[in-house]
Amino acid sequence: AWSRPRYLRNGCISSSVSVLLVHSFFSITHEGTKEMADFLHKNEDLLYNISLIVGLNNDLGTSAAEQERGDSPSSIVCYLREVNASEETARKNIKGMIDNAWKKVNGKCFTTNQVPFLSSFMNNATNMARVAHSLYKDGDGFGDQEKGPRTHILSLLFQPLV
């Protein structure tokens, strides 16, 4: 059985968020220097917390549909098993973890904004986390295709504004 710490570590490593953030970092700077690599190593917690925000939002939005399909456990399921709590309590705990991760990310934003390219990178990183809130707030559109971003995208593309 998956423990929550193991699940969170695995999720942050196996998700594409860190890869996208590193790609964004070097796309903004258009070069790689030792200082930039040092920045990434010193700020691994930033990559971790952005990954955590994205992953936990995914879990909040998709856990019910994934459980019905018999997919691998989510952070919610891991919490339920560890603490023997209600799903509502587990969801509240996950939202608290997201809030704590945001506090850490916001703290980094204030300490790294002095360098111009870092400001652009921080905007990209925080925007990625913001998108996760929007993308997963009503599901992911795959597990339950009547909910989530799929409906919004179809409406945007195929329904007239008038």
Tokens of 9: 């570590």
pLDDT digits (tens, 9 = 90+) for 101-129: 999 999 888 776 566 667 788 888 899 99
Tell me how far the alpha carbon of residue 63 is from its chain's centroid.
14
pLDDT confidence bin for 93, thresholds 50/70/90: very high
C-beta separation of 24 from 124 below 8 A: yes
How many CA within 13 A on the CB side of residue 121? Answer: 28
Dihedral over Cα of 61, 99, 8, 94: its sign? negative
| 4-158 CATH, one of 3.30.70.100, 3.20.20.150, 1.10.600.10, 2.40.50.220 | 1.10.600.10
pTM: 0.79
- Whether 143 has a pLDDT exceeding 60, the answer reads no
SS3 139: strand
Long-range contacts of 39-46 (CB under 8 A, 24+ apart): 39/118, 43/108, 43/112, 45/104, 45/108, 46/104, 46/105, 46/108, 46/125
SS3 87: helix
Tell me the domain boundaries of the chain.
4-158
